[in-house]
Structure 1
Protein backbone atom coordinates (compact mmCIF):
# COMPACT_ATOMS: atom_id res chain seq x y z
CA UNK A 1 0.00 0.00 0.00
CA UNK A 2 1.17 3.52 -0.77
CA UNK A 3 0.11 6.36 1.49
CA UNK A 4 1.33 9.94 1.04
CA UNK A 5 0.17 13.27 2.35
CA UNK A 6 0.42 16.61 0.61
CA UNK A 7 2.58 17.91 3.47
CA UNK A 8 5.09 15.09 2.80
CA UNK A 9 5.37 16.14 -0.86
CA UNK A 10 5.64 19.93 -0.57
CA UNK A 11 9.24 21.15 -1.01
CA UNK A 12 10.55 17.75 -2.15
CA UNK A 13 11.58 16.41 -5.57
CA UNK A 14 7.89 15.56 -6.11
CA UNK A 15 6.89 19.25 -5.86
CA UNK A 16 7.60 20.68 -9.33
CA UNK A 17 7.33 24.39 -10.13
CA UNK A 18 6.21 24.51 -13.77
CA UNK A 19 6.07 28.22 -14.60
CA UNK A 20 2.46 29.10 -13.76
CA UNK A 21 2.04 26.91 -10.70
CA UNK A 22 3.03 23.76 -8.84
CA UNK A 23 2.60 20.08 -9.67
CA UNK A 24 2.62 17.93 -6.52
CA UNK A 25 3.17 14.36 -7.69
CA UNK A 26 1.64 11.70 -5.47
CA UNK A 27 2.31 8.80 -7.85
CA UNK A 28 5.17 8.40 -10.33
CA UNK A 29 6.41 5.57 -12.55
CA UNK A 30 8.75 4.32 -9.81
CA UNK A 31 5.68 3.70 -7.62
CA UNK A 32 4.60 0.97 -10.08
CA UNK A 33 0.98 2.07 -10.56
CA UNK A 34 1.18 2.67 -14.38
CA UNK A 35 -0.42 6.10 -13.98
CA UNK A 36 0.45 9.31 -12.16
CA UNK A 37 -1.69 11.31 -9.76
CA UNK A 38 -0.95 14.99 -9.16
CA UNK A 39 -2.38 17.84 -7.12
CA UNK A 40 -1.76 20.82 -9.39
CA UNK A 41 -2.04 24.52 -8.58
CA UNK A 42 -2.40 27.08 -11.37
CA UNK A 43 -1.74 30.70 -10.41
CA UNK A 44 -4.58 33.21 -10.79
CA UNK A 45 -4.62 35.39 -13.91
CA UNK A 46 -2.31 33.12 -15.92
CA UNK A 47 -2.58 31.53 -19.34
CA UNK A 48 -0.59 28.48 -20.42
CA UNK A 49 -0.44 26.87 -23.85
CA UNK A 50 0.10 23.18 -23.11
CA UNK A 51 0.46 19.97 -25.08
CA UNK A 52 1.15 16.50 -23.72
CA UNK A 53 2.60 14.50 -26.62
CA UNK A 54 3.54 11.48 -24.53
CA UNK A 55 0.73 11.33 -21.97
CA UNK A 56 -3.03 11.28 -21.75
CA UNK A 57 -4.39 13.52 -18.99
CA UNK A 58 -7.64 13.90 -17.09
CA UNK A 59 -8.15 16.77 -14.63
CA UNK A 60 -10.79 17.28 -11.94
CA UNK A 61 -11.22 20.78 -10.51
CA UNK A 62 -11.56 20.98 -6.74
CA UNK A 63 -10.97 24.75 -6.28
CA UNK A 64 -11.02 27.95 -8.30
CA UNK A 65 -12.34 29.15 -11.62
CA UNK A 66 -10.89 29.15 -15.10
CA UNK A 67 -11.27 27.73 -18.58
CA UNK A 68 -9.67 25.37 -21.02
CA UNK A 69 -9.64 26.13 -24.76
CA UNK A 70 -9.22 23.43 -27.41
CA UNK A 71 -9.47 24.14 -31.15
CA UNK A 72 -11.03 27.56 -30.50
CA UNK A 73 -13.78 26.21 -28.22
CA UNK A 74 -13.76 27.43 -24.62
CA UNK A 75 -14.95 25.25 -21.73
CA UNK A 76 -15.45 26.77 -18.26
CA UNK A 77 -13.76 25.10 -15.29
CA UNK A 78 -15.08 25.30 -11.76
CA UNK A 79 -15.21 22.90 -8.80
CA UNK A 80 -16.82 19.67 -9.93
CA UNK A 81 -15.65 19.97 -13.57
CA UNK A 82 -13.56 17.21 -15.16
CA UNK A 83 -11.84 17.51 -18.52
CA UNK A 84 -9.84 14.85 -20.35
CA UNK A 85 -7.32 15.49 -23.12
CA UNK A 86 -8.03 12.26 -24.99
CA UNK A 87 -6.30 13.22 -28.25
CA UNK A 88 -3.09 14.74 -26.85
CA UNK A 89 -4.88 18.04 -27.46
CA UNK A 90 -2.89 21.26 -27.57
CA UNK A 91 -4.83 23.53 -25.22
CA UNK A 92 -4.86 26.83 -23.40
CA UNK A 93 -5.41 26.62 -19.66
CA UNK A 94 -6.51 29.93 -18.15
CA UNK A 95 -6.94 30.55 -14.43
CA UNK A 96 -9.24 33.40 -13.39
CA UNK A 97 -8.58 32.57 -9.75
CA UNK A 98 -6.08 30.10 -8.36
CA UNK A 99 -7.11 26.71 -9.73
CA UNK A 100 -6.51 23.42 -7.98
CA UNK A 101 -6.76 20.37 -10.20
CA UNK A 102 -6.38 16.69 -9.36
CA UNK A 103 -4.80 15.18 -12.49
CA UNK A 104 -4.19 11.64 -13.72
CA UNK A 105 -1.54 10.94 -16.38
CA UNK A 106 -0.96 7.77 -18.35
CA UNK A 107 1.63 6.53 -18.91
CA UNK A 108 3.15 7.47 -15.59
CA UNK A 109 5.29 10.55 -15.21
CA UNK A 110 8.91 9.76 -14.40
CA UNK A 111 9.01 12.68 -11.98
CA UNK A 112 11.44 15.11 -13.58
CA UNK A 113 9.08 16.31 -16.34
CA UNK A 114 8.15 19.96 -16.18
CA UNK A 115 6.42 22.41 -18.44
CA UNK A 116 8.81 24.55 -20.42
CA UNK A 117 6.98 27.84 -20.70
CA UNK A 118 8.69 30.12 -23.21
CA UNK A 119 7.81 33.47 -24.71
CA UNK A 120 5.16 31.60 -26.69
CA UNK A 121 3.96 29.99 -23.44
CA UNK A 122 4.20 26.58 -25.13
CA UNK A 123 4.79 23.42 -23.17
CA UNK A 124 5.19 19.76 -23.96
CA UNK A 125 5.95 16.53 -22.14
Structure 2
Protein backbone atom coordinates (compact mmCIF):
# COMPACT_ATOMS: atom_id res chain seq x y z
CA UNK A 1 0.00 0.00 0.00
CA UNK A 2 2.85 2.41 0.71
CA UNK A 3 3.79 2.46 -2.98
CA UNK A 4 0.21 3.30 -3.97
CA UNK A 5 -0.36 5.91 -1.23
CA UNK A 6 1.06 8.86 -3.25
CA UNK A 7 -1.21 7.91 -6.15
CA UNK A 8 -4.24 7.77 -3.84
CA UNK A 9 -3.39 11.19 -2.40
CA UNK A 10 -2.84 12.58 -5.91
CA UNK A 11 -6.24 11.34 -7.09
CA UNK A 12 -7.86 12.75 -3.95
CA UNK A 13 -6.31 16.18 -4.53
CA UNK A 14 -7.38 16.19 -8.18
CA UNK A 15 -10.94 15.45 -7.10
CA UNK A 16 -10.84 18.41 -4.71
CA UNK A 17 -9.79 20.94 -7.37
CA UNK A 18 -11.38 19.51 -10.52
CA UNK A 19 -14.99 20.61 -10.81
CA UNK A 20 -16.06 18.47 -13.77
CA UNK A 21 -15.55 15.08 -12.10
CA UNK A 22 -18.97 13.57 -11.28
CA UNK A 23 -19.77 13.07 -7.63
CA UNK A 24 -22.08 10.56 -5.97
CA UNK A 25 -21.11 7.78 -8.39
CA UNK A 26 -22.41 4.28 -7.93
CA UNK A 27 -19.42 2.22 -9.11
CA UNK A 28 -20.56 -1.25 -10.17
CA UNK A 29 -18.74 -4.27 -11.51
CA UNK A 30 -17.66 -7.84 -11.17
CA UNK A 31 -14.11 -9.12 -11.71
CA UNK A 32 -13.21 -6.26 -14.03
CA UNK A 33 -13.00 -8.47 -17.11
CA UNK A 34 -16.56 -9.71 -17.47
CA UNK A 35 -20.19 -8.68 -17.26
CA UNK A 36 -22.47 -11.65 -16.84
CA UNK A 37 -23.57 -11.77 -13.24
CA UNK A 38 -25.60 -9.78 -10.74
CA UNK A 39 -23.38 -6.72 -11.28
CA UNK A 40 -24.51 -6.42 -14.89
CA UNK A 41 -28.15 -7.07 -14.00
CA UNK A 42 -28.07 -4.34 -11.35
CA UNK A 43 -26.33 -1.93 -13.75
CA UNK A 44 -29.04 -2.56 -16.36
CA UNK A 45 -31.73 -2.00 -13.74
CA UNK A 46 -30.24 1.29 -12.53
CA UNK A 47 -29.85 2.65 -16.05
CA UNK A 48 -33.39 1.65 -17.07
CA UNK A 49 -35.32 2.46 -13.89
CA UNK A 50 -33.20 5.13 -12.17
CA UNK A 51 -31.43 7.29 -14.76
CA UNK A 52 -31.00 9.99 -12.10
CA UNK A 53 -28.39 7.75 -10.40
CA UNK A 54 -24.90 8.28 -11.78
CA UNK A 55 -23.93 4.62 -12.26
CA UNK A 56 -20.59 3.60 -13.77
CA UNK A 57 -19.46 0.05 -14.60
CA UNK A 58 -15.77 -0.86 -14.38
CA UNK A 59 -14.61 -3.33 -17.04
CA UNK A 60 -11.48 -4.04 -19.09
CA UNK A 61 -11.73 -2.12 -22.35
CA UNK A 62 -10.51 -5.06 -24.41
CA UNK A 63 -12.83 -7.64 -22.87
CA UNK A 64 -15.54 -9.31 -24.92
CA UNK A 65 -18.27 -7.86 -22.71
CA UNK A 66 -17.06 -4.23 -22.77
CA UNK A 67 -19.02 -3.23 -25.88
CA UNK A 68 -22.17 -4.79 -24.47
CA UNK A 69 -21.82 -2.81 -21.24
CA UNK A 70 -21.03 0.47 -23.05
CA UNK A 71 -24.39 0.20 -24.82
CA UNK A 72 -26.14 0.13 -21.45
CA UNK A 73 -24.41 3.04 -19.71
CA UNK A 74 -21.20 4.73 -18.62
CA UNK A 75 -18.05 2.65 -18.16
CA UNK A 76 -14.46 3.07 -17.01
CA UNK A 77 -11.60 0.81 -17.97
CA UNK A 78 -10.44 -1.34 -15.07
CA UNK A 79 -7.27 0.04 -13.48
CA UNK A 80 -7.28 3.24 -15.54
CA UNK A 81 -6.93 6.75 -14.13
CA UNK A 82 -10.65 7.25 -14.83
CA UNK A 83 -11.31 4.14 -12.70
CA UNK A 84 -9.24 5.66 -9.89
CA UNK A 85 -11.21 8.93 -10.11
CA UNK A 86 -14.54 7.08 -10.18
CA UNK A 87 -13.52 4.89 -7.24
CA UNK A 88 -12.40 7.80 -5.08
CA UNK A 89 -15.48 9.90 -5.86
CA UNK A 90 -17.95 6.99 -5.57
CA UNK A 91 -20.61 7.14 -2.90
CA UNK A 92 -21.28 3.43 -3.34
CA UNK A 93 -19.02 0.65 -4.59
CA UNK A 94 -20.96 -2.46 -5.52
CA UNK A 95 -19.21 -5.58 -6.73
CA UNK A 96 -19.93 -9.27 -7.00
CA UNK A 97 -16.31 -10.01 -6.03
CA UNK A 98 -14.23 -8.57 -3.19
CA UNK A 99 -11.03 -6.77 -4.13
CA UNK A 100 -11.68 -6.20 -7.82
CA UNK A 101 -13.19 -2.70 -7.62
CA UNK A 102 -10.04 -1.25 -6.02
CA UNK A 103 -8.01 0.28 -8.86
CA UNK A 104 -4.78 0.49 -6.86
CA UNK A 105 -2.49 -2.52 -7.42
CA UNK A 106 -1.88 -4.81 -4.49
CA UNK A 107 -4.33 -3.10 -2.14
CA UNK A 108 -7.05 -4.96 -0.30
CA UNK A 109 -10.06 -3.46 1.50
CA UNK A 110 -8.51 -3.69 4.95
CA UNK A 111 -5.42 -1.77 3.82
CA UNK A 112 -7.46 0.77 1.90
CA UNK A 113 -9.75 1.51 4.86
CA UNK A 114 -6.85 1.66 7.29
CA UNK A 115 -4.63 3.96 5.25
CA UNK A 116 -7.07 5.90 3.07
CA UNK A 117 -10.49 5.51 4.68
CA UNK A 118 -10.27 8.99 6.17
CA UNK A 119 -10.17 10.42 2.63
CA UNK A 120 -13.54 8.91 1.74
CA UNK A 121 -15.45 8.51 5.02
CA UNK A 122 -18.89 8.38 3.35
CA UNK A 123 -18.07 5.56 0.91
CA UNK A 124 -20.24 2.47 1.29
CA UNK A 125 -19.15 -0.87 -0.12
CA UNK A 126 -21.27 -3.91 -0.91
CA UNK A 127 -20.19 -7.36 -2.14
Q: Report the TM-score when normalising by structure 1.
A: 0.29
| More helix per residue | 2
Higher strand share: 1
